[in-house]
Structure 1
Amino acid sequence: MPAMPASVLRFFTASHAADAEAWASAFAEDAVFHDPVGRPPVEGREAIHAFIAGVLSGFSPFLGLTPLQAHTAGNAVAVSWHGSALTPTGRPVNWSGINVFELDDQGLIKEARAYFDQAVLRAQLAS
């Protein structure tokens, strides 16, 4: 994995383990998660945990988001990634995007913005 701050690394590592608790623990208690940008944000670690658990339940299994490149500037990190999973019927699903993370003073994610083409993901889930 590319070098990145610990909380951002935990975000991606937990996605590979399909561990909603560990994934949400990368976020500050009052974090905001735009997934994807353009939809209403998920606010607060508890709500983010529920959101992630809901996403994970739609796949069997969720194989994770694999970071390809990470670029850090101060308390902001931009990461390009590739996602993969299987539907409950065994169909592969692949998509990619970029997340931009802003970290708080403790190094936790205070805001995350996910940029990906949701239509590409939906089309694979519908076919």
Structure 2
Amino acid sequence: MSVPAMPPAVLQFFQASQNGDADAWSGAFAEGARFHDPVGTPPLKGRAAIHDLVVSVLTSFSPFLGLTPTEAHTAGNSVAVTWHSAAITRDLRRVNWSGISVFELDDTGRIREARAYFDRAAFQAQVDGG
């Protein structure tokens, strides 16, 4: 499947998730960025907090197979991307989920705000084996 056209920082976000590169993944964000992961939970504030989340995700699975974008729609400095993801828990349970993320870019092209929409309860139930 081909990768949909996206601005460089958004493409970096997805490619770094697939490569398991926490520095590149969080580096797609502006220094003072906000990340709602998922929407409805308190947002993470700042690249360091986002980096910590990314590291915890990557180390919680073996392997984390990344987020795979399927469609992207850009309007000005906003990008909406549909995606799916998969991972294997450390005790060998498969976890599959999908969602939509909306990215707002700053004037330098980095992500200043990201909102992830996915069913956190369904995701957690898979992780927990329910």
TM-score by length of 1: 0.98
Cα deviations by residue, 1:54-106 (Å, 9 ceiling, x for unpaired) = 11111111000000000000000000000111100222110000000000000
Amino acid aligned to 1:68:
T
Any stretches of 5+ residues in structure 2 without a counterpart?
none
The runs of at least 4 aligned residues of structure 1 exceeding 3 Å deviation read: none
Corresponding residue for residue 109 of structure 1:
111
Corresponding residue for residue 9 of structure 1:
11
Describe how 1:75-90 pairs up with structure 2 within 5 A: 75-90=77-92
**Correspondent of 1:34 among 5, 27, 36:** 36
Q: Figure out how many residues of one structure are paired with residues of the other and give that number.
A: 127
Any stretches of 5+ residues in structure 1 without a counterpart?
none
Cα deviations by residue, 1:3-22 (Å, 9 ceiling, x for unpaired) = 00000000000000111111
CA distance in 1 between counterparts of 2:61 and 2:89 reads: 5
Give 3-state SS (helix, strand or coil) of 1:60's partner: strand
Amino acid aligned to 1:29:
E
Amino acid aligned to 2:13:
F
**Correspondent of 2:101 among 92, 99, 102:** 99
Cα deviations by residue, 1:15-73 (Å, 9 ceiling, x for unpaired) = 00111111000000000000000111000011110111111111111000000000000
Corresponding residue for residue 67 of structure 1:
69
Give 3-state SS (helix, strand or coil) of 1:120's partner: helix
The Cα RMSD (Å) is 0.6
Give 3-state SS (helix, strand or coil) of 1:95's partner: strand
CA distance in 2 between counterparts of 1:126 and 1:68 reads: 27
CA distance in 2 between counterparts of 1:89 and 1:126 reads: 10
CA distance in 2 between counterparts of 1:31 and 1:109 reads: 7
